[in-house]
Chain A
Amino acid sequence: MTPLDPVERHLFLEGIFMRYGYDFRQYAEASLDRRLASLLAQNNMTSLVELLKHVLESTDAFREILPSLTINTTEFFRDPTFFRALRETVFPILKTYPRIVVWAAGCSTGEEVLSLTIALKEENLLNRATIHATDINPRVLKKAKEGIYDISLISSFNKNYVSAGGVNSPSEYYTAEYGLARFNPKLLENIVFSEHNLVTDAPFIEAHLILCRNVLIYFNRELQERAFNLFARSLVFRGFLGIGSKESIRFSNSSGLFDTVDLNQNIYSLKAQPIINKSTLSTRKYT
């Protein structure tokens, strides 16, 4: 991999933001650079300015490359011990509310939010829950709404479901046919799917629980700070935040807003609303 030209890189990210409103300028550089380099290779190009010219010509060309810029890695009950901790530590508190609002931020193709829904159902919390599942990529949201997955994902679903503390038989939740597994549509009834960009958009709900796992690793420090502020402003007092197993709030300036509920599983609870800082919290639009 040859290093990207810094001027071309800058122009490319600015151009995308100006034209399409997707802001990748504060993503962690090294992994974004790899994705940019492989995009160039896929398009048989060597220059990001050439690629920029191409995607500025049509929205379709941009939609074509968008999935390569965002990260869609996900899994059913990823890190099963995290879900076990949710059931043991967080759900008993959620049971004390008559209605609960949950936000799965960066839900990708839906495996994580479906796993969460199943756990909520088994704890008799689903019928009082509204679950907002958001992502910046409309393509993955479309897939998530369908609740249909390749049958090859089912063996890890079955295995992780059990380690995550599932109490039923995993096959109760889906029907398998023609190489596909269709999850029970009832599971999806309480989920509202919508586009939301953690980089540019504002709070839109007051949630009791926010899950945002393995999204923050793609952000640089400043952008992580913005995201933590956004979460703090989107939670009820003492609402819960779950982040990825290798992510941490401890080294961030926002650590004072949260108390640690489970250090190993990275579950936190809101102890104070952030002081509103316009520079980090305003929605960002190119003007």
Chain B
Amino acid sequence: MRKNISAIFIGASAGGISAVQRLLMQIVNNRQVPIVVVQHLPQYAKLNPSLIYGQDSQNVVFTEANDKMHLECGHVYFAPPGYHLLVEKDYSFSLSQDDPVNFARPSIDVLFESAAIAYRERACGILLTGTNNDGALGLQTIHLLKGLTIVQDPASAEFPSMPQSAIDLFKPNYVASIPKIPAILEGFDKGEAL
């Protein structure tokens, strides 16, 4: 099984900030594809992604995703608190304030499902720590549309129930602790630039 990955989508809830920090630290410099993160946060949280998740450098820019912005290589995008973040078929973002899904807005399911439909087999979804079951259905959609799915090993997660609920729903391609994920991604070719 060899796939071309054109974009990476990461979902995390409770315990997520440090998990996302650790994962990004290892993968941002090696990967040329856009990376998109939904981290559950309170609605009015104000955040500056480059202060929380990593420093901007020549290779990578950390930024909040804006409506209609195109996904670009060398960027890590974060869903703004209080909005669902979706990916359109022309590889641009759109936002919505539709009702929360799984009590969450942004919801990981909403990002993953739209990403699966836009990127099909070139999407990679990674589901990390959390206490609810957001993200499981969305990751399954990525799986059904032949994308790559990675779930954090619940035994290594600060809060195991979110990754566990994905494993209960279907068989992801990989279940791995965070230090092992970069090596998995290394095995896949970068998709052509979109």
Contacts and interface: CB of A to CB of B under 8 A. Distances in A.
Nearest to A80: B44
B66 A246 contact: yes
B22 interface: no
B68 interface: yes
Interface string A201-223: 00000000000001011100100
Given A246-B66, A246-B67, A31 B96 contact: yes
A251 B68 CA distance: 8
A73 interface: yes
B88 interface: yes
A30 B99 contact: no
A217 B98 contact: no
Interface of B: 66-69, 80, 83-84, 86-89, 94-99, 110, 113-114, 117-118, 137, 141, 144-145
Given A35-B98, A73-B98, A73-B99, A29 B89 contact: yes
Nearest to B137: A1
A29 B96 CA distance: 11
Contact of A30 (B69, B94, B97, B137): B94
Given A30-B118, A34-B114, 15 more contacts: A1-B141, A3-B117, A28-B96, A29-B88, A29-B89, A29-B94, A30-B88, A30-B114, A34-B113, A71-B97, A71-B98, A218-B96, A221-B68, A246-B80, A251-B68
Q: How big is chain A's contact interface, by range?
A: 20 to 34
B117 A217 contact: no
A248 B86 contact: no
B137 A31 contact: no
A33 interface: yes
Contact of A217 (B87, B94, B110, B137): B94
Chain A CB within 10 A, most for which of B80, B84, B86: B86
Interface in A40-83: 71, 73
B166 to A, nearest CB: 15
Given A1-B113, A1-B137, A248 B66 contact: yes
19 contacts: A1-B113, A28-B86, A28-B94, A29-B88, A29-B89, A30-B86, A30-B88, A30-B114, A31-B98, A31-B114, A33-B117, A34-B110, A71-B96, A216-B67, A221-B68, A224-B68, A246-B66, A246-B80, A246-B95
Contact of A31 (B94, B118, B141, B144): B94
A158 to B, nearest CB: 15
A1 B68 CA distance: 23
Contacts of B118: 30
B75 to A, nearest CB: 16
Contacts of B83: 217, 246
A259 interface: no
Nearest to B110: A34
